[in-house]
Every structure is written in C-alpha cells, then in structure tokens.
C-alpha cells in the first residue's frame, strides 16, 4: 500500500472481523470484510476475496506473503476472473510450489540440490533404503511444508519407522498433504537465500543474498545482508544459480531461491518461495529498491532491462513477535498499552500495530519487523542494539529483550555461527 500510494494507485484491504482495527485496514483507500477469524472462512476463502476485488473494481491482487500467496489455484482463479495476480502463474507455482517437484526442476536446470530421495517416500523400507544411500543423519521433510513445521531429523535406522509415521501424520494435519521426502541432514549449515526479480520479457536479475541462519526450531528470527560468509565470488556463483533456476521455469515476479551452505562453502538448493518474503526489507535497504513496487511494475508488463540496483552498506532485520522469551516463546497476545517505535538514521519499522491495538491470538505472532541499515555489520549491530532499546512495548511480552541479548553475544558479533546457534544460546531472565 505504501508503494501503491507513491504510484498513484488506489488500494483495497481485505480483513477478517478480528482484524478490523489493524493498521492495514485503516491505511487502505477502501477496506472490505471477507468473513470471520477462521482463515478458511476469510483469508483462505477465494470466492470472498474475488468478490471483494470485483465489487471494488480492483485490477490486481497482491497476495502478500502468507495464506494464498503461493497457491497455484488462487493465481489461476484470479487469471480466469480477469484480475491480475501480482506474482507468478499457476504453472510456475506448481513447478516450484511443492518442494519435491522443485528439486527435480532444479536438478534438470543443473543447480546443485541437497542430496536425497528423488521422489516422495512411500514406506518404511523405501525410507531406510534412501537414508542408507545418502548417509545419516537425514531429515524427513513435508513436501507441502512451510514455516519450519513438521521436519524431523533422524540419526539412525532404528528411528526411521517412528519418525516417518509421525512426519506423515503431522504433514497431513498441517498442510493437507501427507507427502514427505528425505534429505541428507547437513551439519552446521548456514541458510542463505538469493532474491530474484523476473519480468514478463525474460529478464531475470538477482539482488544478492540474505543470511537467515539465526533460527529457532527452523524458523527465522534475524536476517541480514550481506552475509558475513559470502564472498564476491560465492555471491556471483549463487546469484547465477538462482537466475538459472528462475529462467528454467520462465518465472515472473519476485522470488527467493533458498540454499544451505556447508562449512566448505558448497551451496545446495533447498526450495524456492514464489512470493515476497517476510525478510525482504533488508534487501530493499541495501539495494535501495522497493521490491513491492517492482512486483507491481512487473505485473503491469514493465521491463527490468537497464535497471541496475547497486548494493551499499549492511542491513539487519529482527522479527518482533508477541511471544515470551522467558517462557519458551509462548504466544503473548493482548492489548498494547504502549507501542513506541524507534527512529533516527537508518531505522525502519514495518508493523500493523499501534498503542491501544489488541494483538489477537488468531494468527501469526509477528507484530512487526525492525530493520536497521548502516555502513558496516558492526555499525548495524550497534544501531540495532540502540533501536531495540528505544522500542517500548507495554502490555504484552515480545522478543525485543531476546534480540537485545543476541546483539551483545560475541558469537553473533563474530559472524561465525550456523543454524544451531540458538540451541546453545542462553537467554538470561532479567
Ligand atoms: P520451511 O519451508 O518449512 O521453512 P525449509 O526447507 O526452508 O522449511 O527449511 C527450514 C530450515 O530447516 C532451514 O533453514 C535449515 O535450518 C533447516 N533444514 C532444512 N533442510 C535441512 C537439511 N537438509 N539439512 C540441514 N538443515 C536443514
């Protein structure tokens, strides 16, 4: 909506009854209620969303990064309703949407992938055979997965049967698809992803990497760019692989190619997100670009030819969640009696919240993103630290105190860590 306003485009927000007070509803030029809190009756309800677009005469729908953002059927329904889906076509999503198909597509495009099962795993015997081939430890992953849910690491053959069944059950319940596949579990990797943009004319560019290695239970908490471990050469190599991946499926729109990088700096394709991501602001800051504006321009048929986004400085994002770090990050919804956001040079806050807003318990616990930008990583960490000190939230528990401690942690500061970093990190109760 920020991008639309700058471009002179009117915007319409859709919301469920529980989100009536959310800032996006107030900010939009128009807002339409699409149903009760239950996602399947509102944010996942395609007929209601299309009806909202039709009554307001909308030309296009931006799907955001949750709910239907990677749903091929929804892209198709928009298309057949004569509404431009700001993102890829159903066919492109299908080639990348389910992770197992995506890996097959990437192997064909010559991109290195995490070694593992060539297809879905059917039964225990099959799983044991594959695990033996790739070598333990292995990770069982839901093909329709997301948000780090439903993955299980298995260290030995005797554990396969139990874990396979649980993984299939969990996947079925969480994603409505019980298909799972097996990968080699890379030890001590970093999660590094490449942002790409692809227009309708075959131009594909990459905007460098985001390092999302700081994770809790496979979920990202802090992201930064550039990565402290990516050299100019590695960036060029991973960028070229990401561009090749997008070209292989004639991709259109913004997308992210996720890789794991091992300690020998070898990189392996993990999955592609066919949408804008939560952590996109760090790329926007370093490359001085509005990625949503680019998405809109691409959807309108614009060309990327001649565009040159030059990187500068270092940017870090902390996810501010309504969770209690003193109690295993349990959700902490409720009224924001005070919500004072930091300011000053190089500080950006993306949030739908304000003082007196009541954080509902219905959806994701993220209440905002704090993004800072400075010349160097060291300066960015210092800036993040002071911005976190200035970020005052009263009424609920948040991850702010946790991030403050991470910013002061010598291992985080050294830049030398892997995805297991938070497992050994001790949050100190004050
Ligand atoms: P989701 O889509 O659910 O977020 P991903 O496939 O992106 O799942 O994986 C999330 C995280 O899980 C990765 O960033 C990484 O930390 C860990 N992970 C996934 N696959 C592997 C693997 N084969 N080896 C080691 N870690 C992995």
Assess whether the C-beta atom of 197 lies below 6 angstroms from ligand 1.
no
- On whether both 74 and 201 belong to a single domain, the answer is no
On whether both 275 and 171 belong to a single domain, the answer is no
pLDDT band at residue 38 under the 50/70/90 scheme = very high
Q: Do β-strands 30-35 and 12-16 pair in parallel, antiparallel, or remain unpaired?
A: parallel
What is the band of 117 on the pLDDT scale with cuts at 50, 70, 90? confident
Average pLDDT over residues 275-281: 97
Task: Kindly state whether residue 236 falls inside one of the protein's structural domains.
Answer: yes
Mapped onto helix, strand or coil, the DSSP state of residue 221 is strand
pLDDT band (50, 70, 90) for residue 173: confident
d(CA 4, CA 39): 26
In a domain? residue 110: no
- Listed residue (320, 329, 363) closest to 67, CA to CA: 363
**What CATH number is associated with residue 58?**
3.40.50.20
Residue 100 domain-assigned (yes or no): no
In this structure, what are the phi and psi dihedrals at residue 250, rounded to the nearest 5 degrees? 50, 45
The answer to the question of residue 102 being in a domain is no
Domain end marker among 165, 184, 203: 184
Q: Is 275 a catalytic site residue?
A: yes
Top-confidence residue, 391 or 146: 391
Q: How far apart are CA 258 and CA 243, in angstroms?
A: 12
Which residue has the least CA distance to atom 2 on ligand 1?
146
Least-confidence region, from 40-44, 143-147, 170-174, 411-415 = 143-147
Q: Where residue 430 falls among pLDDT bands split at 50, 70, 90?
A: confident
Please state, in angstroms and as integers, the Cα–Cα distance from residue 383 to each residue in 225, 348, 427, following that order.
15, 11, 21
Nearest to 415 by CA among 148, 185, 190, 193: 190
Based on the structure, what is the number of domains in the chain? 3
Let me know whether 17 and 54 are in one domain: yes
Query: Looking at beta carbons, which pairs linking 376-382 to residues 24 or more positions away fall under 8 Å?
Result: 376/313, 376/314, 377/224, 377/228, 377/314, 377/316, 377/415, 378/413, 379/314, 380/224, 380/313, 380/314, 380/315, 380/316, 380/346, 381/316, 381/407, 381/412, 381/413
pLDDT tier for residue 168 given thresholds of 50, 70 and 90: very high
Q: Is residue 258 part of a domain?
A: yes
When comparing pLDDT for 430 and 88, which is higher? 88
Q: What is the pLDDT of residue 268?
A: 96
| Same domain membership, residue 307 and residue 201 | yes
Asked if 327 and 383 sit in the same domain, the reply is yes
Indicate if 266 and 209 belong to the same structural domain. yes
> 417 and 409 in contact (C-beta within 8 Å)?
no
Handedness of CA 172, 174, 179, 185 (dihedral sign): negative
Among 35-39, 217-221, 251-255, 426-430, which is the least confidently predicted range? 426-430
Among 101, 106, 191, 423, the mutation site with the greatest number of ligand 1 atoms within 8 A of its Cβ is: 191
- Whole-number pLDDT of residue 144: 84
Ligand 1 pocket, residue 191 CB under 6 Å:
yes
User: Measured between alpha carbons, how far is 126 from 178 in angstroms, rounded to an integer?
Assistant: 16
Does residue 185 have its Cβ closer than 6 Å to ligand 1?
yes
| 119, pLDDT greater than 90 | no
Nearest to 242 by CA among 152, 111, 139, 333: 111
395 in the same domain as 255? yes
Which residue, of 184, 213, 230, is where some domain finishes? 184
Q: Which domain holds residue 180?
A: 115-184
Region of poorest pLDDT, from 119-123, 146-150, 298-302: 146-150
| Structure-block tokens of residue 144 | 């329709």
Same domain, yes or no: 48 and 143: no
Residue 270 and residue 200 share a domain = yes
State the DSSP H helix or E strand holding residue 377, giving kind and residue range, or none if neither.
Answer: helix 377-390
Q: What value does the mean pLDDT of the chain take?
A: 95
pTM confidence score = 0.95
39, part of any domain: yes
35 has which bridge partners? 16
How sure is the predictor about 152, in pLDDT bands with cuts at 50, 70 and 90?
very high
> Are residue 359 and residue 402 in the same domain, yes or no?
yes
Q: What is the pLDDT of residues 213-255, one digit of tens each?
A: 999 999 999 999 999 999 999 999 999 999 999 999 999 999 9
Distance 369 CA to ligand 1 centre (A): 22
- The lowest-confidence range among 92-101, 158-167, 245-254 is 92-101
Tell me the pLDDT band of 174, cut-offs 50, 70 and 90.
confident
- Whether residues 172 and 268 share a domain: the answer is no
Backbone angles phi, psi at 268, to 5 degrees: -135, 130
CA 319 to the chain's CA centroid? 11
Asked whether residue 29 is domain-assigned, the answer is yes
| Pair 245, 293 in one domain | yes
**57/9 Cα distance (integer angstroms):** 12
- pLDDT of the residue at 147: 76
The DSSP annotation for 79-131 comes to HHTT-EESS--HHHHHHHHSHHHHHHHHHHTT--B--B-SS---SHHHHHHHH
- Counting every residue, how long is the chain? 430
What band does 101 get if pLDDT is binned at 50, 70 and 90? confident
pLDDT in tens, 296-347: 999 999 999 999 999 999 999 999 999 999 999 999 999 999 999 999 999 9
Which residue, of 61, 93, 125, is where some domain finishes? 93
Q: Output the domain CATH number for residue 266.
A: 3.30.470.20
The predicted structure's pLDDT at residue 146: 77
Is residue 287 in some structural domain?
yes
Catalytic residue among 210, 275, 286, 383: 275
Burial (CB count within 10 angstroms: exposed 0-12, middle 13-18, buried 19+), residue 301 = exposed
336-381 pLDDT, tens digit per residue, is 999 999 999 999 999 999 999 999 999 999 999 999 999 999 999 9
Domain holding 122: CATH number? 3.30.1490.20
């Amino acid at each position: 909506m920020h991008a639309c306003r700058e471009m002179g485009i009117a915007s319409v927000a859709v919301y469920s009854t529980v989100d009536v007070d959310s800032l996006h509803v107030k900010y939009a030029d128009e807002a339409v209620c699409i149903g009760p809190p239950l996602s399947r009756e509102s944010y996942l309800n395609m007929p209601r969303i299309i009806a909202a677009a039709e009554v307001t005469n909308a030309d296009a729908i931006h799907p955001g990064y949750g709910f239907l953002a990677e749903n091929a059927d929804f892209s198709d329904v928009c298309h057949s309703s004569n509404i431009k889906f700001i993102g890829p076509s159903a066919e492109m999503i299908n080639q990348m949407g389910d992770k197992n198909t995506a890996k097959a597509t990437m192997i064909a495009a010559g991109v290195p992938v995490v070694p593992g099962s060539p297809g879905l795993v059917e039964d225990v015997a099959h799983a044991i055979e594959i695990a033996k081939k790739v070598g333990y430890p292995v990770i069982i992953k839901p093909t329709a997965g997301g948000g780090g849910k439903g993955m299980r690491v298995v260290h030995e053959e005797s554990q396969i049967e139990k874990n396979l069944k649980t993984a299939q059950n969990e996947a079925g319940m969480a994603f409505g698809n019980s298909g799972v596949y097996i990968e080699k579990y890379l030890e001590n990797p970093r999660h590094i992803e490449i942002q790409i943009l692809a227009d309708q004319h075959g131009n594909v560019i990459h905007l460098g990497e985001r390092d999302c290695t700081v994770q809790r239970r496979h979920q990202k908490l802090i992201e930064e760019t550039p990565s402290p471990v990516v050299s100019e050469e590695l960036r060029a190599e991973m960028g070229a692989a990401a561009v090749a991946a997008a070209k292989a499926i004639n991709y259109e729109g913004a997308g992210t190619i996720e890789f794991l990088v091992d300690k020998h700096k070898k990189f392996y394709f993990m999955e592609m997100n066919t949408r804008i991501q939560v952590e996109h602001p760090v790329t926007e800051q370093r490359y001085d670009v509005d990625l949503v504006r680019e998405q809109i321009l691409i959807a309108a048929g614009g060309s990327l030819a001649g565009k040159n986004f030059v990187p500068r400085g270092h940017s870090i994002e902390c996810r501010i969640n309504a969770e209690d770090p003193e109690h295993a990050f349990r959700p902490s919804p409720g009224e924001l009696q005070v919500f004072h956001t930091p300011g000053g040079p190089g500080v950006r806050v993306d949030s739908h919240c304000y003082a007196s807003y009541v954080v509902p318990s219905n959806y994701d616990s993220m209440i905002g993103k704090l993004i800072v930008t400075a010349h160097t990583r060291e300066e960015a960490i210092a800036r993040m630290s002071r911005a976190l000190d200035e970020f005052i939230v009263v009424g609920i528990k948040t991850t702010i105190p946790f991030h403050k401690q991470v910013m002061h942690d010598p291992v985080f500061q050294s830049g030398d860590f892997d995805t297991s970093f938070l497992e050994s990190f001790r949050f100190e109760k004050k």
